[in-house]
Amino acid sequence: MIVRKYDDIIMAIILFYEKPGCMNNARQKSMLELSGHTVEAINLLEYPWTNKELDKYLGEKPVAECFNPAAPAVKSGKLDTLAFTKEEAIAIMIHEPLLIRRPLIKIGNHHLQGFDTTALRKIISLNSDKGTEDAGITININDINSCPHNNTFSCIKQED
């Protein structure tokens, strides 16, 4: 649901499919919440994906861009992301959801893969609510997608 407020800023209820414990997903959710949106977090790894539903999130981008570059099989080169058709990629991602580039975001009828601030700003406001500065809450939006962990980190391990 998308709601228009008095100052014409769009506020939304956002379905946010994440990997619990992921530091970037936590920062991304915080940015959305500080912008006044309601975020409903859903565990991407346990959600019962269907081909049709996952396809909506992948959209028309090249198949290789739909894979999580930090997934161990991708990062190690064991999985050649260029070798799959879209249908094959969806099937392997449903079987192994860690391969899905995240987050997946649903806002009304919009389905997005990854945290693309340009695409998000076409749908919703990403401006922090007044007063969050006073609370000492800041979000660095310069790089909200790259995994902040070193090269030895595995997405399989849960973060502290």
Known catalytic membership, residue 22 = yes
Whether residue 103 has a cis bond before it, omega within 30° of 0 = yes
Helix (H) or strand (E) run with residue 42 in it: strand 38-43
The Cα 157–Cα 134 span in angstroms is: 35
Q: Which of 22, 66, 147, 155 is catalytic?
A: 22
DSSP 158: P
Say which residue the tokens 């930090």 belong to: 70
Crossing angle (nearest 10°) for helices 51-58 and 86-95: 120
Half-sphere exposure of 135 (CA within 13 A, CB side): 9
Known catalytic residues are: 22
